[in-house]
Amino acid sequence: MNRVSVDAAAVQLFHSLADPARLEIVRLLGHGERRVVDLTGELGLAQSTVSGHLSCLRNAGLVEPHPHGRSTFYALVRPELWALLSAAEDVLAATGSPARLCPDGVGAAHAPHADAVPHAEAGHRARPDASAPATRPGQVH
């Protein structure tokens, strides 16, 4: 991979996390899969806006859709995201601007290790607590 493509991928990743609504979507999906309609209700945003944010997160490889009957659920697919967000929390705290980026109770100590979690297995859902079962539509953990 050449330097330009690596930089473009990094820019896309950080751009996907550079919006408050997308960060909130990541936090919400950290608690389990959600439909667009669920996210619109929780965020108070228009469906088209939420769909656009999900598209951005999907293009960055952070979320993926899973059809279930007539509904489509979105889930996080990159467990490494928790380590990144936890590190960002540490950097922000060190600069005097503390921020909460990870879901409650999630930090570097709770983030699944990248080598311990398969990345693209069918049915895998990244979640903040690796010991908790992956959520399915209608389930709450």
pLDDT in tens, 10-56: 899 999 999 999 999 999 999 999 999 999 999 999 999 999 999 99
* Any domain includes 72: yes
Question: According to the model, what pLDDT value does residue 117 have?
Answer: 34
Residue 119, domain member (yes or no): no
Cα distances (angstroms) measured from residue 133 to each of 88, 112, 128: 26, 13, 11
Q: Looking at the domain assignment, is residue 89 inside a domain?
A: yes
Q: What residues make up the domain containing 33? A: 9-98
Q: What is the CATH number of the domain that holds 80?
A: 1.10.10.10
Total count of domains within the chain: 1
| Domain assignment present for 137 | no
In a domain, 133, yes or no: no
Q: Is residue 41 part of a domain?
A: yes
pLDDT averaged over the chain?
Answer: 79
Residue 10 DSSP SS3: helix
Per-residue confidence band for 100, with pLDDT thresholds at 50, 70 and 90: confident
Does a structural domain hold residue 63? Answer: yes
Q: Are 121 and 132 in contact (CB under 8 A)?
A: no
57 contacts: CB under 8 Å, gap ≥ 6: 16, 22, 25, 26, 63
What are the DSSP E strand ranges found in the chain? 34-35, 63-68, 71-76
In a domain, 118, yes or no: no
